[in-house]
Amino acid sequence: MASIVESLPQGLVSHSQPQKSADTSVLADWEIQAEKCRKVLRESLNPDWFLPARQLPSAEQLNVSTFIETCGFLSTRELEITATSATKLVEQMASGSLTAVETVTAFLKRAHIAHQLTNFATEFMNADALEAAAELDAYFKATGKTKGPLHGIPISTKEHIEHKGRIAHSAYVALVDNVAEEDALIVQCCKEAGAVFHVRTNEPQSVMHIDCSNPIYGTTVNPHNRTLTCGGSSGGEGASLGLRCAALGIGTDLGGSVRVPAAFCGAYGLRTTALRNPYKGVCLPGAGQESIRCVISPLANTAEDLGLFQKAVLDQEPWEVETSLVPQPWKQASPLKPGSFTIGVMWEDGRVLFLFLCLSANCCHSLVRPHPPVLRALRYAVEKLKSAGITVVDFEPYNHQEGMDIVSRLYFPECAVTQKDLLEKGGEPVAPLSDFIFNFAPPRPLTIQENWAFNARRDAFREQYHKIMKNRGVDFILCPAYVGPAAKLGDGHYIPYTAIWNLLDQPAITFPTGLKVEPTDTPYSDFKPRSAEEEREYNKYSPEEYAEAPLALQIVGKHFRDEDTVAAVELVSKIVQG
């Protein structure tokens, strides 16, 4: 068998194996620690499910999104299984026409090839997954019933979601000796519903980039164009769902970390209202920071599967264990019909106080127009929706400057000291994007009173935004998922299109339009940047460099209207893709 290094495309292995120091043959202390995790990954691989390097696409082949379908490794039956939605897989297993072992094996084989193409995995759980699948098949044979609504469904998880007896380090070398004592609560809920966990996935250093690279495992790339990032911070999950390595995925989202990877990789990503899904058992520095809550949410390949996941989890009543959760079961929303609701279209993100490059009070006001293919996709969606009888109106964003000003203070109210201390303790190189996001912090730590004041501004902003949506008669907002179709590797900086909804704590879903970047998506001929930020973001774009990237959009609902938001995306995505 070719080694993992030999089998990965050129450029994906810069940090996936131990590196020699410049002066000696002795590994640096941080590399010795990181090697523990790399060894776990290597030993988790099944050599029988790897392709020899000579059979893999060359590094020059950027789009590998359909390689697995054509490489001949999976059987026709296995390709059919991995192309099927989670909802339909459960139906087939309930009818007895499909077994859990068949299903899990097909997804495991596919995931191994996908890892060779994108470097998305941190650990395979082959033996545990196949054992769990066999137990499910035995249960079905004995009872004639499925164990639950996720019976036999293979689910991938972001690395920092804990699995009992396995390392959870959140991409910090300082935490590689952290072994979970129990499964994360959401993992427990899914297992109780019959799900099978088979692979864990990569994340960026600090778990705060819309990129996916760290010194432990290296870089995960976008299967549609391997010069582009798969997004972050749940980037491995984006690649996993984009290449159908799992029927469902679980990530976390503080500023777009589920939605951005789903958007970049052609999948669906849900950001729920906070305190709906169980969060207990996520390894993430800064526990107790509640000014903007991180949520744990699913990725899928259909909107219907997002609802399947949500109902299966909340039917377990996780609030009986994690008492901070709102005891709100998942209620099936009534199907939406054209004319019964209104979509407001947000073409641009409004006048944003963009602080990513503002390290002091010398802040810049900016408005960043989406790249040409994103606006093309938005116009296309609007025309399709109008033709289908959906009520669509323009929606001018309300004071996103104020919103992003609050975000900039509340992400790192202590100036990212927690994250910086862990990186110093671990000793690994600090990535440029980590420095970049840490500079998003205020110039000095907030006092307790200042934190309270920003929380009060946050709450007032939320109430005003809800009032404006209500007064304008807008039920959902349709907007870009990101300023561009994706970001180049190591070059994702602009998050306001997703982060604003985290601040507002509104459910939001990114979904594929079925379109991709075309050669005709040429730069705007009349472009005149209104700020340095807009010029920087716009100068990143050319249709050649973003070739084949899928185009996604975002639907935003109202606070705690998660079920309605999923229902809206079910309808909207069918119309737009139809």
Sign of the torsion angle spanned by Cα atoms 114, 117, 119, 120: negative
Active-site annotation holder among 233, 240, 366, 573: 233
Torsion of CA 270, 273, 275, 280, to 10 degrees: 20
Q: For 230-318, where are the E strands, in sequence order?
A: 248-253, 268-271, 295-300
Place of tokens 């392709």: 51
Closest CA to 62 of 219, 204, 229: 229
The DSSP string of 254-272 is SSSTTHHHHHHHT-EEEEP
Q: How many CB atoms lie within 10 A of CB 394?
A: 11
At 333, phi and psi to the nearest 5?
A: -75, 150
E-strand spans in 280-424?
295-300, 342-345, 352-354, 364-366, 391-394
**Helix, strand, coil fractions of the chain, as percent rounded to 5:** 40, 15, 45
- Torsion angle, alpha carbons of 100, 103, 109, 113, to 10: -140
User: Collapsing DSSP states into helix, strand and coil, what is residue 230?
Assistant: coil
CB 313 within 8 A of CB 193: yes
Contact by Cβ (8 Å): 510, 569: no
**Cβ atoms of residues 248 and 201 within 8 Å:** no
Cα radius of gyration (the chain): 22
DSSP 98: S
Task: Reply yes or no on whether 158 is catalytic.
Answer: yes
* Closest alpha carbon to 245 in 385, 406, 120, 339: 120
User: Which positions ≥6 away from 530 have C-beta within 8 Å?
Assistant: 366, 367
The SS3 of residue 530 is: coil
Cβ neighbours around 75 below 10 Å, total: 11
SS3 (DSSP) at 345: strand
Instruction: Exactly one of 158, 191, 311, 420 is catalytic; name it.
Output: 158
Dist CA 568 CA 578 (whole Å): 15
Residue 145 designated active-site: no
Residue 360 corresponds to which tokens in the numbers above?
């002091």
What SS3 state is found at 105? helix
With both helix axes pointing from N to C terminus, report the angle between 86-95 and 303-314 in degrees, rounded to the nearest 10. 70
Beta-carbon contacts of residue 30 (< 8 Å; ≥ 6 apart): 173, 215, 426, 427, 428
* Catalytic residue selected from 65, 257, 366, 573: 257
CB-CB neighbours of 470 under 10 Å? 11
DSSP state of 429: P
- Give yes or no: 233 in active site: yes
Quick one: CA dihedral 334, 340, 344, 345, positive or negative? positive
Helix axes 235-242, 100-118, angle to 10 degrees: 120
Which are the catalytic amino acids?
158, 233, 257
